[in-house]
A = this chain, B = another copy of it.
Amino acid sequence: MKTFTEYLYFNTKHKREYVRITDKVEDIVRRSGVKDGMALVSAMHITAGVWVNDAEEGLLDDIDNWLDSLTPHGAYPRMKWPEPGQEGPVNAVRTEYLHHRTGEDNGDSHLKSILVHHQVIVPVTDSRLDLGTWQQVYYAEFDGQRRKRVIVKVMGA
């Protein structure tokens, strides 16, 4: 059994940015010598995520808009739903993240990280990433403009 570990480093231009890392993961797997196994790709920060999805610019914008709609920057909405069994208008109280009492302003980045998950496992078969045609590995930065990292750990035979 072999294990092999490397770290990827990021320092994005924007606060939120989505970086395709499939080729870097593939390169690490090649150098690991593992022919069959699994590669863990896991953010080492609590304001970042890793996902597998499409490399399509429009979709990346959709994902970004959708995430920021559900977990808006600065203050988050506590919903006031209609009573059970009722139909009616939706109200919300917009509350500053309690996390910001620590001096941070990235409460939304933590929620985004939990929503998309911070890691994936990429299967390795015949020394290659065993991904579907359209599957690409992305690093999702939710609080960038500073040095962050991702661990890639390959394990197998």
Contacts and interface: CB of A to CB of B under 8 A. Distances in A.
A111 interface: yes
Contact of A92 (B51, B78, B82, B135): B82
Copies in the complex: 3
Interface in A108-125: 110-111, 113-121, 123, 125
Given A77-B81, A96-B84, A107 B62 contact: yes
B149 A42 contact: no
B157 A62 contact: no
Given A3-B157, A63-B114, A153-B123, A101 B132 contact: no
A100 B62 CA distance: 10
Interface string A19-40: 0000000000000000011101
